[in-house]
Structure 1
């Protein structure tokens, strides 16, 4: 990149008629393009991104209602816009669709039958729920399966086939927290010399390594081989049944014959000219593209232009449109319609559903509406709608009076077999046999199925057209009876083919909270038939029973005496997905609302899942997304490289980050003024209360120290905070309160804005292009008037200015050190501090032997007992020293130190506190 000697190549494009159209020539250079992303503080949710620029409108092109404009009828409200700059290297852009891939024909060198080594370096959504293929020779049609590397929901998977038909796979290896750009690798040892085959998965920052193993080594009994098929080798294979190619950027890849062996394919996209459609790699493979492109563009903004205000001067010779584009959350924030309850949203998605009554109608309603076309409302008497909202998966449910009736006609299905299911809470179990619900059936010897309940048991009856009992079952298990009442349950009546011309009839109830299932079952001669009506007639024995979400499905259960219902659509949605992790909820919401927004996630592995949430109650989509982010404590922001997309970084992805941007205060352009540390109380919180919505609370208070609730001059006085979060259990508020108090009492200056001028420091362009919200940056070689050591910050947002010869970022930052958390057995951040230590006597500026008193907690370990723990760093009075030895088995102990580890050395008074420079801090 020749910038800044030549003008910065900023490209602006509008999506006009579905095609990205370059309008750079019409962007005025008199007004620089200004982009803002992220937030200005430590909020978990960011403000909508924005981009401002000015378009030349002398020809009237950007007046949407001008019929002479070539864009007439093609631009208007929320026209997509994107802004890009050239990056330092090219890449292969894949769309994540079946028609987007790179391919090289089959060749003898690619027909590897022995040991295999696959490697891919890409920029991708590693944790996307969909299955994404990366590289392989794999065609399902015609059984031409050989080998393939893919990812699915944060797992790395190697597939291979010994015969082209049978597909072995190595799954269940969750990826660790990866940067957006990373390399993945899989090796297969087809004969490990011990009668088996061995597979190992790896990741690395790039294809150059170093490689870190992912998960455990997996060994299978029996040697294997790989099919020598005719399939082409593809980057993002397209013919794996049910699998999509990856979406993102591929930088390079390798296929090796043998583990670490001969490279037989090596597509390296980094040096290709943008627009290349065919090339030969260093292994002699010729590649072609389909639905993909070689590009070097790095997108700094994707958004929407919501308005086109025409402006002109008094002469009429200068006509322009000031464009203010925004990210998707601006538009999403305009709508206030709450999403329906999880049951109301989930149940209609079942293809076998033929009738459904949510019974979430308001209290003044006299019938219960059905969202299924052609299904009449439920007719009701003595039923109070909108009576209760205690079930997590329902907005409200109805309460049964005494007496009360319910009746709903069901369109008759043409298929045999059915299921009727609903949620209920029976407050008292009747002493005598009492009807709970009945189902009318046509086309079967059984015309009615009825469920009864009493203290004697739960009874299911099959009745004929005269109301006579054909057969019945009474389930009298003590625990099953106890679980039928006094809690939220799902009750299902359903059938299955019992073989031999008979039908099995079931009544199954499931405790929603405990997820325990019981069933009573009987059988009768004849076919299953089809449902025509559901009904109930109740008296005083069932008074105050709550019920709702009556659904009818034209699907039988599988054959078998203990078969669960044919449809399991209620599962999870019945309690509002109570207990799912933040990332799981965000992933599910993104799938359910794919037409509204694209949402990707970063984080969550098997060892450190994101925070578990309480039930999803009806709310606006964006509020639900932000609720999950607030509870987990990560960062939600708009992506800059995908249209209409959000991304969530979970809390653990912010822990112990590597440095993404290392700035030098004394280097030109790297840290231009102003650099203004701020010592204020804007984020100070020393008294934090966290409440679980619908549950208990916990409080964390800093009782001592300079930022404690003690009045000045001992502390700063109370700075309190109280938040209510969607949490799964009452065990969560306490550690979350402690973590929030930890962040709120971190004793370090803030650097609200850190700037970098890329036109003066172009060597930083590549690093800045890789950075994103939440990444870590540092500043070295600070002036003497600032504290010693690094400025260590997380970038929470930024304002970017793109001009002809100007490219600058002003980054909004917050301290990174509070996010440095303990790693077991790590020599620096895995070391626990004492509860309180201080100098027992004064030391001079040159003294290397210090007497240290421990006034709280355990003594420091000595060189004699734990020599491997030395050296380590402690800080005393702002001076960091290296401790090389400790002697003494009682307080005070003698420390041998090397002075001025942070460039400071000074005399220290007796009583000066001393602590580890990097004390162990436990993660939430």
Structure 2
């Protein structure tokens, strides 16, 4: 076992696929442990931000912030991405021939293992950084080859490609990883060509493959290489982290793979030029991610002349927790879509202008006067129903006397809109027909596009591309809009599609493309047909046709706050507001969620509302920049065959404990929902036996009263009389034969502790992982699992020998 600690110097966590990782494992202090904490203390607590603490040797100052002599300068700084994994090197067992997956070498002892690698032509060495370095020298063909004692059938060969050779003026420069047959020139593996920068997945016969799969080499995507055989198929795979793999090529298994014993070879060749090298590492290692996050700081410590840096790191929730409070969903949806300019028009009542929130530097909308009289009052009307925003009211004296808004959106926005690619979006409300909602024009007024209502209240597009009289194009399915209700419109110039209140209202009508669009008018056009009513959430985009329909989906944001969408969809939506694209949902039971339309709370708080409503689990991934959201049914009636592992009580470490107290007890619960009834569920027999245990009443985001009742009954049925349970289970995982299985255990995984002492209530107990703390040292990996009783999640199943005993071993599923 070895730890693998990598820093993403200069990378941005929100763009994980662009990070180039640097292995700093050699600088991790062996005198101090790596400590990692993850999850929750129990099932009724929220998961906490994951943390990691490790100490780095800073003797040469490479981890000193601001040190220009550091090889990582200037990227030794707060919020640098970091990931921590455990690399488990396989051990050989049984007798030859061995599965090639048992070929393992971490190259960390400073000398080549001549028993494992008897052929070393070319002077390959192990570096101080713990890598295999093979020279690539002019006129020299090297081989670094294992004994012929391995088989690929049903097995795999894995290696980290730590550094590739440079062409350096050569006419031929290549390095490879092969599994070789007994026939010379017959082999399967990967070949890197330094001249072309191509990484090829090859099955050679006579040293040639007529149909290789060629990949432009990427140090990020191809950091790990693997060849695997399964079910009569050979797979060539690559990985950026050694854990998640992408298949690049498949081939029916050649006959020699099943009939011969193989050797593994890492050859190089070069013709001319100057020497360089290739580096390999962690051959055969199983990579188990333990932490993915950012370094909070790099504090320097000294003891005499010795310098160390103790780095404390936090996972994705650190970034989420420092985000500002969310605005209404109507605003967040637009911001998440990347507008060229966006004016929510939600300024306070004393404002005399309205600002752009896109971040593209668009000029403010300022009040313009036409004629005399009229008013424009900010924050004078309630916005669309789900928002609770306050928006302006335009009150002209007449169609040509009053106030409207105008902005020079500037060069940057003009460029983003491009030629004919502008899309308009806004909400409007009026009882007056024949007025202008909004318009966009070029500075010379040669190109103009205006959204307005006709004298009959029909939406229409007015346009010119030559500066002449505006041509009127009606939106056929958008009539009767001067009804005093809020309406949402999206119109795209490229496709000439218009959407009203989320529905397609016009397709493909011939309207000329706009160009040089930079002047925005709201509530009138050049002092004419002044709007009477409200306009809000005005946005312009420079997007493709495919995106126009997606913008129409913003309508429910203002109309109902997406009330009724599934909980997993809501979590994805909130994550998108926070700039997180990766959300993994696990399980099948996700109920409809009520509106969270108004603003005023942080994104994590809103996610926690959904989590609590669903009795679900939300946490940051430990192998990627993303979130995991688990439904409650993931834990229902656990199948013993799906357990992560089993462990004997005798193999546990000190710290394992059995609890039977009232910490979790709930026998009465009062709950309510937005706009619904307040209800109470009790367990009378529990109240009689133990007294009343009732937490504070709380609201949950259900869409009907029955769902609220079900949610409350689920809590009371689980905790009216909780039984004895193991809450802490400590294991030195490294000493266990099922080490890899233990490392796979994560939040909501189940395992069994068997062989309990006679004083225990049962000889074995199944527990569910709620979180853990782990301490990683050389040849030691202590994991303290925080657990709960799996029986709390057992649900009733008709005629099942175990799960049909309602209120005894099970409860009705929720």
- The alignment partner of 1:641 has SS state of coil
Q: In structure 2, what is the Cα distance between the partners aligned to 1:272 and 1:460?
A: 74
Q: In structure 2, what is the Cα distance between the partners aligned to 1:254 and 1:522?
A: 43
Report the structure, 1 or 2, having the larger helix content: 2
Q: In structure 2, what is the Cα distance between the partners aligned to 1:94 and 1:630?
A: 43
Deviates more, 1:545-554 or 1:680-689: 545-554
Shift of 1:763: 1.8
Answer whether contact 1:634 1:654 (CA < 8 A) is retained: no
Equivalent pairs counted in the alignment come to 646
Answer whether contact 2:647 2:754 (CA < 8 A) is retained: yes
1:722 aligns with 2:685: no
1:901 — aligned with what? none
1:422 aligns with 2:404: no
1:550 to 538, 556, 559: 538
Shift of 1:796: 0.8
1:581 to 554, 562, 566: 566
Aligned ranges 1:525-544 → 2 under 5 Å = 534-536=521-523
1:799 aligns with 2:770: no
1:202 — aligned with what? none
Answer whether contact 1:436 1:536 (CA < 8 A) is retained: yes
2:108 — aligned with what? none
Aligned ranges 1:696-845 → 2 under 5 Å = 696-706=676-686, 708=687, 713-728=688-703, 732-758=707-733, 761-788=735-762, 790-822=764-796, 827-828=800-801, 831=804, 833=806
Answer whether contact 2:728 2:786 (CA < 8 A) is retained: yes
Given the superposition, is the C-alpha separation of residues 93 and 741 from structure 1 closer, same or farther in structure 2, using an over 3 Å criterion? farther
2:35 — aligned with what? 34
1:383 — aligned with what? 376
Deviations 1:348-382 (A, max 9, x none): 6768x665422122332111223454555142673
2:22 — aligned with what? 20
Answer whether contact 2:3 2:86 (CA < 8 A) is retained: yes
Given the superposition, is the C-alpha separation of residues 820 and 365 from structure 1 closer, same or farther in structure 2, using an over 3 Å criterion? same
Given the superposition, is the C-alpha separation of residues 470 and 714 from structure 1 closer, same or farther in structure 2, using an over 3 Å criterion? same
- The alignment partner of 2:48 has SS state of coil
Q: In structure 2, what is the Cα distance between the partners aligned to 1:21 and 1:771?
A: 25
2:312 — aligned with what? 324
Answer whether contact 1:340 1:395 (CA < 8 A) is retained: no
Shift of 1:86: 3.4
Shift of 1:490: 0.8
- The alignment partner of 1:740 has SS state of helix
Q: In structure 1, what is the Cα distance between the partners aligned to 2:178 and 2:483?
A: 64
Structure 2 unaligned segments of length 5 or more: list them.
Answer: 11-19, 91-100, 102-155, 165-175, 180-200, 204-210, 214-228, 269-278, 370-374, 397-401
1:630 — aligned with what? 612
Q: In structure 1, what is the Cα distance between the partners aligned to 2:727 and 2:471?
A: 78
Given the superposition, is the C-alpha separation of residues 657 and 484 from structure 1 closer, same or farther in structure 2, using an over 3 Å criterion? farther
Q: In structure 2, what is the Cα distance between the partners aligned to 1:460 and 1:266?
A: 72
1:359 — aligned with what? 345
Given the superposition, is the C-alpha separation of residues 600 and 88 from structure 1 closer, same or farther in structure 2, using an over 3 Å criterion? farther
Q: In structure 1, what is the Cα distance between the partners aligned to 2:380 and 2:159?
A: 52
Shift of 1:700: 3.5
Answer whether contact 2:64 2:300 (CA < 8 A) is retained: yes
Q: In structure 2, what is the Cα distance between the partners aligned to 1:763 and 1:47?
A: 30
1:75 aligns with 2:76: yes
Answer whether contact 1:798 1:809 (CA < 8 A) is retained: yes
**Taking structure 2 as the reference length, what is the TM-score of the superposition?**
0.64
2:139 — aligned with what? none
Q: In structure 1, what is the Cα distance between the partners aligned to 2:333 and 2:571?
A: 16
Answer whether contact 1:419 1:565 (CA < 8 A) is retained: no
Given the superposition, is the C-alpha separation of residues 687 and 253 from structure 1 closer, same or farther in structure 2, using an over 3 Å criterion? farther
Q: In structure 2, what is the Cα distance between the partners aligned to 1:582 and 1:809?
A: 32
Q: In structure 1, what is the Cα distance between the partners aligned to 2:282 and 2:608?
A: 34
Given the superposition, is the C-alpha separation of residues 648 and 553 from structure 1 closer, same or farther in structure 2, using an over 3 Å criterion? closer
2:135 — aligned with what? none
Structure 1 unaligned segments of length 5 or more: list them.
Answer: 1-7, 106-134, 138-143, 147-205, 210-231, 238-243, 258-262, 279-288, 498-503, 559-563, 834-914
Aligned ranges 1:857-868 → 2 under 5 Å = none
Deviates more, 1:748-757 or 1:13-22: 13-22
2:287 to 294, 297, 302: 297
Answer whether contact 1:274 1:294 (CA < 8 A) is retained: no
Given the superposition, is the C-alpha separation of residues 545 and 28 from structure 1 closer, same or farther in structure 2, using an over 3 Å criterion? same
- The alignment partner of 2:717 has SS state of helix
Answer whether contact 1:236 1:246 (CA < 8 A) is retained: no
1:249 — aligned with what? 244
Shift of 1:635: 1.8
Shift of 1:816: 1.4
1:601 — aligned with what? 584
- The alignment partner of 2:571 has SS state of helix
Aligned ranges 1:604-683 → 2 under 5 Å = 604-605=587-588, 608-609=589-590, 611-615=592-596, 617-618=598-599, 619-642=601-624, 644-659=625-640, 660-666=643-649, 668-669=650-651, 671-683=652-664
Given the superposition, is the C-alpha separation of residues 768 and 471 from structure 1 closer, same or farther in structure 2, using an over 3 Å criterion? closer
1:169 — aligned with what? none
- The alignment partner of 1:623 has SS state of helix
Shift of 1:795: 0.9
- The alignment partner of 1:763 has SS state of coil
Given the superposition, is the C-alpha separation of residues 549 and 67 from structure 1 closer, same or farther in structure 2, using an over 3 Å criterion? closer
Q: In structure 2, what is the Cα distance between the partners aligned to 1:46 and 1:815?
A: 17
Q: In structure 2, what is the Cα distance between the partners aligned to 1:617 and 1:829?
A: 46
1:309 aligns with 2:284: no
Answer whether contact 1:557 1:566 (CA < 8 A) is retained: no
Answer whether contact 1:86 1:298 (CA < 8 A) is retained: yes
Deviations 1:120-176 (A, max 9, x none): xxxxxxxxxxxxxxx999xxxxxx999xxxxxxxxxxxxxxxxxxxxxxxxxxxxxx
Aligned ranges 1:215-254 → 2 under 5 Å = 235=236, 248-250=243-245
Q: In structure 2, what is the Cα distance between the partners aligned to 1:730 and 1:516?
A: 30
2:675 — aligned with what? 695
- The alignment partner of 2:761 has SS state of coil
Q: In structure 1, what is the Cα distance between the partners aligned to 2:288 and 2:454?
A: 66
Deviations 1:646-704 (A, max 9, x none): 433232323233343454555x32x3444432222222223323343x43244332141
1:408 — aligned with what? 406
- The alignment partner of 2:437 has SS state of strand
